[in-house]
């Protein structure tokens, strides 16, 4: 008797006896083996795409182009970069077509999102992930681009980059961390600067707090919490088994943060993790008066029961100075030191 016939017989017996059939838990397939983009070099062409919201003025395009040129690159605009459909940077078909075309174009070495916003979820099922696996390239952005980063990693195995978007402020800190991973093929230790006191007696900005100490290794998954939680239950949600989850958020009430973390817990993602890095939760404040939990309480409630290393305050998120995080790359968290060590070069 085959396995399927045995299970059918068990179900029929249980139904006949007035009992519920034993529940079976589906196991999601593992992500494909990782593929790495070629490292970017001066003179390479970077294509600008608008997979999320539209850019409504001309000046941001000029500033983004000049910034990439200052980094040593040629810049190409995807065909629908300046399109607009409602608040989005073109129709779903146009935005997906631009991404597919830029991955297919051998003259393009890397692809960068112009900005975030919203709308990336709408095109996930229109992308050619087999093409991305055949022709891996640098792809980077953050915020709503979280959808694309995790979908590319989950469906194609492509290591992509939670990194500045083209219209970001390309300050010295962000440039140095981006260049180390993407251009120099280094495997850096990501650790907040220490001792930056300014006019204060002690350091106030970019402090690290350890929720639970220890070290752990695993592939990096995550990004913006609201966007990541919206992928739960889809084929584009990351494989969290043994993973290190990194999270950031902006402009969300604390009760919404709590609800998003509840989604990750209920879908089984949190219980599978090997470690957690909490980035910046910028302007995330109480939205329901004194009844609200604090962020401290919410993070303790959801992460301490996991019994894995967790630290908070990493320079990831909607902030001026930010790390570049390779999604899908192997890393080691040291929650006592508040650091994340990338374990191998992620650009070849």
- Would you state the pLDDT for residue 101? 98
Q: Rounded CA gap, 73 and 47, in Å?
A: 10
Cα 188 to the center of its chain, rounded Å: 18
Q: Rounded CA gap, 158 and 137, in Å?
A: 8
Closest C-alpha to 141, from 117, 124, 105, 176: 117
Q: Which three-class secondary structure state does DSSP give residue 74?
A: strand
Question: In the chain, what are the domains?
Answer: 45-170 (3.40.50.10740), 206-342 (3.50.30.60)
Q: Residue 102 pairs with which residues in a beta bridge?
A: none
The residue annotated as part of the active site, out of 174, 318, 330, 332, is 318
Q: Is 330 a catalytic residue?
A: no
- Would you state the pLDDT for residue 199? 87
- Would you state the pLDDT for residue 206? 96
Phi–psi pair at 288, nearest 5 degrees: -135, 40
pLDDT digits (tens), the chain, 348 positions: 444 444 444 444 344 444 444 444 445 677 899 999 999 999 999 999 999 999 999 999 999 999 999 999 999 999 999 999 999 999 999 999 999 999 999 999 999 999 999 999 999 999 999 999 999 999 999 999 999 999 999 999 999 999 999 999 999 999 999 999 999 999 999 999 999 998 899 999 999 999 999 999 999 999 999 999 999 999 999 999 999 999 999 999 999 999 999 999 999 999 999 999 999 999 999 976 666 899 999 999 999 999 999 999 999 999 999 999 999 999 999 999 999 999 999 999
Q: In sequence order, what are the residues at sequence separation of 6 or more whose Cβ sits closer than 8 angstroms to the Cβ of residue 266?
A: none
Closest C-alpha to 222, from 174, 182, 260: 260
- Would you state the pLDDT for residue 31? 82
The residue annotated as part of the active site, out of 80, 177, 229, 248, is 248
- Would you state the pLDDT for residue 290? 60
The residue annotated as part of the active site, out of 31, 50, 143, 174, is 143
- Would you state the pLDDT for residue 289? 63
Q: Is 147 a catalytic residue?
A: no
CA distances from 38 to 114, 117, 130 (A): 21, 28, 17
Q: Is 160 a catalytic residue?
A: no
Phi–psi pair at 308, nearest 5 degrees: -125, 165
pTM over 0.75: yes
């Amino acid at each position: 008797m085959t396995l399927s016939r045995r299970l059918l017989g068990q179900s029929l017996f249980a139904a006949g006896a007035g009992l519920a059939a034993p529940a079976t838990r589906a196991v999601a397939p593992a992500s494909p083996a990782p593929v790495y983009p070629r490292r970017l070099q001066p003179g390479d062409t970077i294509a600008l795409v608008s997979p999320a919201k539209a850019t409504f003025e001309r000046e941001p395009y000029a500033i983004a182009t000049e910034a990439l040129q200052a980094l040593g690159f040629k810049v190409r605009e995807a065909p629908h970069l300046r399109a607009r459909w409602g608040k989005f940077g073109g129709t779903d078909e146009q935005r997906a077509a631009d991404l597919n075309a830029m991955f297919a174009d051998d003259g393009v070495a890397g692809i960068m999102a112009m900005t975030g916003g919203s709308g990336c979820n709408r095109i996930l099922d229109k992308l050619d992930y087999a093409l991305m696996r055949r022709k891996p390239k640098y792809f980077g952005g953050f915020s709503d681009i979280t959808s694309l980063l995790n979908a590319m990693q989950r469906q194609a195995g492509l290591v992509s980059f939670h990194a500045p978007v083209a219209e970001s402020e390309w300050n010295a800190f962000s440039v140095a961390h981006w260049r180390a991973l993407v251009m120099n093929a280094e495997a850096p230790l990501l650790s907040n600067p220490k001792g930056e006191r300014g006019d204060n007696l002690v350091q106030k900005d970019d402090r690290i707090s350890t929720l639970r100490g220890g070290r752990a290794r695993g592939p990096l998954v995550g990004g913006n919490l609201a966007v990541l939680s919206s992928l739960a239950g889809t084929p584009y949600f990351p494989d969290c088994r043994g993973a290190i989850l990194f999270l950031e958020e902006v402009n969300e009430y604390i009760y919404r943060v709590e609800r998003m973390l509840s989604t990750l817990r209920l879908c089984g993602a949190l219980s599978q993790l090997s470690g957690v890095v909490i980035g910046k939760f910028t302007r995330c404040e109480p939205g329901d008066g004194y009844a609200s939990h604090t962020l401290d309480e919410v993070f303790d409630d959801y992460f301490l029961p996991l019994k894995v290393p967790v630290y908070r305050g990493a320079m990831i998120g909607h902030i001026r100075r930010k790390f570049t995080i390779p999604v899908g790359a192997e890393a080691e968290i040291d929650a006592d030191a508040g650091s994340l060590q990338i374990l191998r070069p992620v650009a070849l």
